Amino acid sequence: MIDVPFERPVSYGTRATLTEAEFAQRAAAIRTQREADAAESGDGGSGVNPASYWLERGQPSRQASLIVDPPDGRLPPMTADGAQRARAWPSNDPPDGFASAADFTVYERCITRGVLGSTFPNIYSSGMEIMQAPGLVVIRYEMIHESRIIPLDGRPPLAPSIRSYMGEPRGRWDGDTLVIETRNFNGKTGSYARNGNGNPTSEGLTLVERLTRVAADTLDYRVTVNDPRTWTRPWTVALRLARDPDYVIHEYACHEGNYALVNMLRISRAAER
């Protein structure tokens, strides 16, 4: 799903899947990029993206966009408050440099990607391990190594004053579908595209996730984002999760190797001098 755009091209309208010709074009582009990724070197004139080497690709998808609702596959308008907070979202290239680590996003600081950023298809280390035990489900994410413990026993929600980056989930079964409703977010994670590294959320955010097993090795995953302080209406992302029994979740020691933060702060001080 890494090659499926987050928002649908405007020219597609409400068409949620690619035509045969569009799918063939996407598949061909993926093949070309895979060959470039596997090459020991390149001449730079092939038109492929050299940064794509880091991406982990599966089979091409016919899905036109990750967003499936609104029907045009595009984000709804932001509220005035949401747009103001979006403009204040930390920039990765501020004109006056970085004053402190607090000027970076929580993803760049290796704190979290939030629920959305942890789930959406990402550049690499996108493994997700789902474990079941009596009365709960645990979802463990590879990148930034967070685990969500989701009670299924109907326990009451936490007090609204207790908030966190990943929120407080409660799960229930709707037939064969696991429904997870999460509240009590702290409003410090993003919601846009990969890594949750763009567009704000608020403390009013509620996520409703639905996981349905549609084949022995496939889960249908849908999440509806409802944040009335930030968006004028809810929106939904859908994707398929493929089971891979041979996949290995590696340690993601993000903070221990996060020299970029230190170096960028040094550059800012050097620029000031």
Q: Is the pLDDT of residue 47 over 80?
A: no
- Respond yes or no on whether the N-terminal peptide bond of residue 121 is cis (omega within 30° of 0): no
Could you tell me the pTM of the whole model?
A: 0.91
Q: Residue 94: give the domain boundaries.
A: 76-263
β partners of residue 19: none
pLDDT on residue 257: 79
Average pLDDT over residues 171-189: 97
Give the three-class secondary structure for 128.
strand
Residues 21 and 35 in one domain: yes
Residues 132 and 245 in one domain: yes
Residues 106 and 16 in one domain: no
Segment 108-117, tens digit of pLDDT = 899 999 999 9
Domain boundary among 70, 105, 123: 70
Confidence of residue 266 (pLDDT cuts 50, 70, 90): very high
Q: How much of the chain exceeds pLDDT 90, in percent?
A: 68
Residues 148 and 249 in one domain: yes
Other CB atoms within 10 Å distance of the CB of residue 153 = 10
